[in-house]
Chains A and B, each alone.
Chain A
Amino acid sequence: MEITNKFLINDVNLWYSDFQALNNINMDIPEHMITAFIGPSGCGKSTLIKSLNRMNDLVEGCKITGSILLDGENIYGDIDVNALRKRVGMVFQKPNPFPMSIYDNIAYGPRTHGIKSKFVLNEIVEKSLQDAAIWDETKDRLKKSALSLSGGQQQRLCIARALSVQPDVLLMDEPTSALDPISTGKIEELVLQLKKDYTIVIVTHNMQQATRISDNTGFFLLGELIEYGETQQIFSIPQDKRCEDYITGRFG
């Protein structure tokens, strides 16, 4: 199978006011694969993943140079940011369901993009919940508040919500760090399922998780991409001493 790249990250530097958080990042993210970002706290993983759907635009004083191409188009060029975020969905570290019904949580995205038909919305809600493996648990309580779900269920709901607008890419910033092992297992399984249809980028602090689910892994340190390659390679024969120390648990 030929590998096409979803994202091409070229010479990206990013500053929060005076503080440089990303330092000359170059990285290709292949389509229909799972790419993991690892590295010690504060190394810039979240910053980079948020650059991929321009959530950093919300941060005052954030400045970025270089380019990030999505399917060949520079997302920092003259583009519709809302359309970009529709294509590049995001799941956050802490489940953040909207305080409304389960149904409305899922229907919000499609409604935002102009879908009004009750019939179509019903279909999207069901399909999204099914794809996020939470349909069985929610089908009888769609009108109930999303806040009544458990943390793990909430996170799967958030994944369903991200899927509801039919993105190409799913960005996940430590999606399981707030969850128990069983919920984590369910989400990992789900992520592997979703790989067929989506390009997935995931930030994780859990080395086992990275090895279990990702195809490629990038190791970051102090805003730099230190090592990037196939996950197997990185975890079995890391090239860089610092990377080796990190994954073997000597620091981080």
Chain B
Amino acid sequence: MGKRSLRLLNREYAAKILFIISASAAIIAVGLICVFLFLQGLPAMWDMGIIRFLTGTDWRPTWDPPRFGILPMIVGSLYVTAGAILFGVPIGIFAAVFMAKFCPRPIYVILKPAINLLAGIPSVVYGYFGMVVLVPFVRENFGGNGNSIFTASILLGMMILPTIITISENAIRAIPPEIYEGAIALGASHERATFKVVLPAAKSGVMASVILGIGRAVGETMAVRMVAGNQAILRMPHEFLSGARTLTANVVIELGYAYGEHRAALIATGVVLFVFVMIINALFSILKKKESA
């Protein structure tokens, strides 16, 4: 073997090691989070009684004895996430179709970076926007004090838009033009070919974008906390103009001063959140697998 090829081999070897280290760093990070969360959270959950913890409707850390039931927060998270889907998914999908199939070039070159920018805005800025614009808007037009499930849903719906638009647009663009042309050649209009053939053909990608959006909505903390009212009270669906607290808000609001059992209950809240996110990711990878099959 020549000197040159030996050097090449060495370089390849070095690159390989670098890749392995980088990949392991990510895995180790996930692993550490998992271990830490479950080690600290699960025993506490066990002590409190998992069922009681999950289905308890009272969150009273200051009572004696304290009560740690996180059902209001689980339900709160479900409400704002469902609301975000209600607002964000239809708008996001229509926007994606528009971007991929209807948007004139000059508008596209403005819209595309704008959507990318939307994705990069820090959530505290969204929260601020929610506080100064959405909260008064909801208060004046729908009633209540404005800090509500409804307000948080709208805000979250906005926040998941870039995820849904970008991924759905890519999915729509990935459909071979022959499919579209086949529909056009049958005498279908551009609209009909797009909505009845191309969009259904892209459905697994569109679903994936929705699931990623849901993941973002479930995990969102700061913005939600700033507009949701944060009452740890179990709400019924018709109370959508009242405030509610999400799992994420529960942790971030109280973790700063909590200790002992209270602190453990908050970490257990994190465990529940983590499980939620894992379920969502599992759904996502199942869809991905279906797509490639």
Judge if A75 is at the interface, Cβ distance under 8 Å: no
- Report whether B197 and A98 are in contact in the complex, using a CB–CB cutoff of 8 Å: yes
Interface-located stretch among B162-170, B185-193, B219-227, B275-283:
B185-193
Contact of B185 among A83, A89, A97, A113 (CB under 8 A): A89
Smallest CB gap from B201: residue in A:
A99
Judge if B179 is at the interface, Cβ distance under 8 Å: yes
B contacts with A, residue count (CB < 8 A): 17
Q: Which parts of B141-185 form the interface with A (CB within 8 Å)? A: 176, 178-179, 181-185
Judge if B196 is at the interface, Cβ distance under 8 Å: yes
Smallest CB gap from A87: residue in B:
B187
- Report whether B187 and A82 are in contact in the complex, using a CB–CB cutoff of 8 Å: yes
Cα distance A132–B201 when bound, in Å? 24
A contacts with B, residue count (CB < 8 A): 26
- Report whether B182 and A85 are in contact in the complex, using a CB–CB cutoff of 8 Å: no
- Total contacts A to B, CB within 8 angstroms? 64
Judge if B43 is at the interface, Cβ distance under 8 Å: no
Cα distance A226–B178 when bound, in Å? 30
Cα distance A71–B119 when bound, in Å? 55
Smallest CB gap from A86: residue in B:
B187
Chain B residues near A108 (CB-CB < 8 A): 183, 186, 188, 196-197
Chain A residues near B182 (CB-CB < 8 A): 92, 96-98, 158, 161
Judge if B31 is at the interface, Cβ distance under 8 Å: no
- Report whether A98 and B184 are in contact in the complex, using a CB–CB cutoff of 8 Å: no
- Report whether A94 and B178 are in contact in the complex, using a CB–CB cutoff of 8 Å: yes
Judge if B200 is at the interface, Cβ distance under 8 Å: yes
- Report whether B176 and A83 are in contact in the complex, using a CB–CB cutoff of 8 Å: no
- Report whether A96 and B181 are in contact in the complex, using a CB–CB cutoff of 8 Å: yes
Cα distance A72–B200 when bound, in Å? 39
Chain A residues near B189 (CB-CB < 8 A): 82
Cα distance A55–B193 when bound, in Å? 14
- Report whether B186 and A161 are in contact in the complex, using a CB–CB cutoff of 8 Å: yes
Smallest CB gap from B202: residue in A:
A99
Chain B residues near A86 (CB-CB < 8 A): 186-187
- Report whether A112 and B181 are in contact in the complex, using a CB–CB cutoff of 8 Å: no
Q: Which parts of A186-205 form the interface with B (CB within 8 Å)? A: none
- Report whether A112 and B176 are in contact in the complex, using a CB–CB cutoff of 8 Å: no
Contact of A85 among B176, B178, B186, B201 (CB under 8 A): B186
Smallest CB gap from B200: residue in A:
A100
Cα distance A164–B182 when bound, in Å? 13
Chain A nearest CB, measured from B287 CB (Å): 15
Contact of B181 among A55, A97, A113, A161 (CB under 8 A): A55
Given contacts A82-B189, A108-B196, contact A99 B184 (CB under 8 A): no
Contact of A98 among B183, B187, B192 (CB under 8 A): B183
A155-175 near B? 1/0 per residue, CB < 8 Å: 000100110110000000000
Chain B residues near A165 (CB-CB < 8 A): 186-187
Chain A residues near B188 (CB-CB < 8 A): 82, 108-109, 112
Give the 9 A-B CB pairs with smallest separation, nearest first.
A86-B187, A96-B178, A90-B185, A85-B187, A109-B186, A82-B187, A96-B182, A112-B188, A99-B201
B residues neighboring A (CB under 8 Å): 176, 178-179, 181-189, 192, 196-197, 200-201
Extra contacts besides A89-B185, A90-B185, A165-B187 (11): CB < 8 Å: A55-B181, A82-B188, A85-B185, A85-B187, A92-B178, A98-B183, A99-B179, A100-B201, A161-B186, A162-B185, A164-B186
Selected A-B contacts with CB under 8 Å, 9 pairs? A85-B184, A85-B185, A86-B187, A98-B182, A100-B201, A109-B186, A112-B186, A112-B187, A112-B196
